[in-house]
Chains A and B, each alone.
Chain A
Amino acid sequence: MNSRALGFYDLLLKLYPADFQEDYGREMRALVQARYQEEHQARGFFGLVLFSAALVWDSLLTSMQEHRIMLLQDIRYTVRALRNSPVFGVVAILTIALGIGANTAIFSLVDHILLRPLPFPDADRLLLVRLTHPTEHDVSMSVADFIDWRTQNKTFPKLCAYNDEAVTLTGTGTPRVVQGAEVTDRFFETLGADAAIGRTFRQGDDAPGAPRTVVLSNALWLELFNRRPEIVGETLKLDSVQYTVIGAMPASFAFPSPETLVWMIHPIATPARRGPYFLTGIARMSGGASFQRARTELNSSIFPVTALSVRTGSKPMSFYVQPLQEALVGHLRESLFILLGAVALVLLIACVNVGNLLLSRSEARGREIALRIALGISTSRLFRQLLTESVFLASTGAVVGVGLAYAAIIWCKTVAKGYLPRLDTVSLDGRVLVFTAAVTLLAGILFGLAPALQAVRLRMEDALRSGRRAHGDRSGKRLRWVLIFGEVTLAWVLAIGAGLLVRSLLRLTSVRPGVRSDQLFTVELALPETRYKDAGSAYRFFGKVVDEIGHVPGVESASASSGLPPDQNFLATSMFSIRSRYIRANRCRLPPCS
């Protein structure tokens, strides 16, 4: 057998546990050498190939089997040891469960909200398009802007615009406000979404005079029609306008928000004036196009039209383009990663705590370990056994931790609904559990390494004489002090971070919004434009409502507003274009008429 083949078999031997290699490695090597010669003489090169393949397969299979048997032995031993000290076991498992649970929960948020692509085909090609201005960052588009963009577009194969719009649904029982979105004809096509039943909008559906059509969400399809397939052609009254249902979306489609229940076609007709500004554009880049190039092309091709229409002196507006995912969740990146860092520190503290516990325990188990050494257990076997013990503790803690993470995610979905985008998609799936498994293994090795090294360092004679004494005792104490110092440092970092957060929160709560919010109740009403065509009729309606509410016993006063403080009042027309001059609504100071 040549040296290269023998070297290769030596590598295969390393697959076996160290003890097994020590006991049988030499014999196995000799046997393989003899078999190699036999096969070479009997069947030549072909025989050697077959023999080598069988050898590799046999080595892989039997080494794995040996490791499995050894692992089961170690786990049995660990369970027996934990039964003898249940308080230690429970404390260690709960400590680790807390750390791993927090990491699993926060990672599932980070992964589902930030890291995973949006649930659309080639989601990385989708861009959010708005307008930007030197003084007015990130502004919606007007219908006129959208028409300019659509007619002059040479950059994107598909584009559309949408607007979140709460509408009153009537004719299906009690009238109620539902969250909807007004969209242009290629909205679904741009996103690459198909209807579950019926169809989505087609090109030209948003032409002036085209029938008013609507696509239902899966939830509304279930609620109104019990997921009957024959819904195409049914009618729905939204804001007193009759819409014809053309289809329903699958449950997985939740854009612009999971609360969106209807998508209504928005007729695109050339408006009499430039504003109001309420549309958000979405564009799909062609394959191979880069984000930067798309942005440059967009601004260089459409810019002149927009510049003519909306200007502040000589400073024109331009298109503000962002990858859609970045636009939806980018603002959360920093805070979520800080949170992930904080829970990683919690896990580190948990590891240090459990490491300390294990260290104290390994000293108390000095005699037992010394006896096992005296009975012939090798150092490597002992090290492996102690590490298995810590990984087993971490794994049991992970099982409890995953349960805690599950509860935390349910809680988070309740309290953070509406604040965190894509929250509905967050779950403990395979990818998150792989992360948990990796963290568990790492944590097990991390907190088990120091105590295991400490234990195998104990000299058999020393330990037999006094169980815990001399060298072992001194180095054990030193190690414990290092761990305690590390733990205190980590705790300080966390405490300072938490303190800063609390200080920010206190400052926020001490801000005086200018109103007293106690004893106040609010109700939201959306009036259909078809019935309340002018400001006067809407004003009269709200006047009547306010008057009637004011007469309800117990009500001291009532009022109406287009938005609630402390936010600025929402105005669809936030900018006015007066003779090519751009003025922000809330800064507008018109000179008195002379």
Chain B
Amino acid sequence: MPDRDVSGFLGLPATAFHILVSLADGDRHGYAIMREVAERTGGKLKLNAGTLYTTIKRLLSNGLIAELGERPDVGKDDERRRYYCLTPFGRKVVRAEAARLEDLLSMARKAGLVPKRA
């Protein structure tokens, strides 16, 4: 299978980017994704159910994330919950997106729009 081009996905919507980042260090179910995003953003972004699951659906259909066949913590959590993981292609996309954002940020820094890192 030829390598898919990530460039078509760059400029990811913020919600999609946050979900991909939250799955970068482990598989999670929807509620855990929401919690992780909220913690990471200091409570500034609390994803609502509609936004979260319509984005998950889109990421699944584009092959950026995948649904796990087995639940990692059987018995510990609600059986209604489905777990999602980042696919290798999704990882490539989120890396490319992070790099793109980094480039943009460094440009803004050079222009004196963002304080330089200590």
Contacts and interface: CB of A to CB of B under 8 A. Distances in A.
Interface string A37-54: 000000000000000001
Interface string B42-56: 000010111111101
Contacts of A55: 48-50
Interface stretch (A57-65, A163-171, A385-393, A502-510): A57-65
Interface stretch (B2-10, B20-28, B78-86, B94-102): B78-86
B57 interface: yes
A27 B81 contact: yes
Nearest to B56: A24
Interface stretch (A28-36, A85-93, A199-207, A449-457): A28-36
A20 interface: yes
Given A23-B57, A34-B31, A59 B50 contact: yes
A16 B48 CA distance: 15
Contact of B57 (A24, A30, A59): A24
Contact of A27 (B46, B51, B54, B82): B82
Most buried by A among B29, B46, B50, B52: B50
Contacts of A65: 54
Nearest to A55: B48
Given A34-B31, A62-B54, A65-B54, A27 B48 contact: no
A26 interface: yes
Nearest to B43: A42
A27 B30 contact: yes
B65 interface: no
B57 A58 contact: no
A48 B111 CA distance: 43
Contacts of A26: 80
Given A27-B30, A34-B31, A20 B80 contact: no
Interface in A536-576: none
Contacts of A24: 53, 56-57
A58 B49 contact: yes
Nearest to A58: B48
B57 A31 contact: no
Interface string A55-79: 1001101110110000000000000
B34 interface: yes
A570 to B, nearest CB: 74
B80 A32 contact: no
Nearest to B55: A62
Contacts of A30: 31, 78, 80-81
Residue with the greatest number of chain A CB neighbours at <10 A, chosen from B48, B51, B52: B48
B50 A31 contact: no
A380 B50 CA distance: 21
A55 B49 CA distance: 8
Interface residues of B, number: 18
A58 B52 CA distance: 10
A30 B48 CA distance: 12
B50 A58 contact: yes
User: Main secondary structure on chain B at its contact with chain A?
Assistant: helix
Contacts of A31: 30-31, 34, 49, 52
Nearest to A59: B50
Nearest to B50: A62
Nearest to B53: A24
B40 to A, nearest CB: 17
A28 B81 contact: no
B82 to A, nearest CB: 6
Nearest to B31: A31
Contacts of B54: 20, 62, 65-66
A376 B15 CA distance: 28
Contacts of B51: 58, 61-62
Contacts of A35: 34, 46, 49
A23 B30 CA distance: 13
A13 B88 CA distance: 32
A62 B13 CA distance: 14
B92 to A, nearest CB: 24
Contacts of B80: 26-27, 30
A178 B53 CA distance: 72
A434 B76 CA distance: 56
Contact of B49 (A23, A28, A66): A28
Which has the most chain A C-beta neighbours within 10 Å: B52, B54, B78? B54
A23 B80 CA distance: 11
A28 B34 contact: no
A166 B107 CA distance: 80
Interface in B34-73: 34, 46, 48-54, 56-57
Contacts of B78: 30
A27 B28 CA distance: 13
Given A20-B57, A27-B82, A61 B49 contact: no
A28 B82 CA distance: 11
A58 to B, nearest CB: 4
A20 B56 CA distance: 11
A561 B42 CA distance: 97
A181 B52 CA distance: 71
Contacts of A16: 50
A32 B34 CA distance: 11
Contacts of B34: 31, 35
Interface of B: 29-31, 34, 46, 48-54, 56-57, 78, 80-82
6 contacts: A32-B49, A35-B34, A59-B48, A59-B49, A62-B50, A66-B54
Given A20-B57, A31-B52, A55-B50, 20 more contacts: A16-B50, A24-B56, A24-B57, A26-B80, A27-B29, A27-B30, A27-B53, A27-B81, A28-B30, A28-B50, A28-B53, A30-B80, A31-B34, A32-B49, A55-B48, A58-B50, A58-B51, A59-B49, A61-B50, A61-B51
3 closest residue pairs by CB, A with B: A62-B50, A58-B48, A28-B49
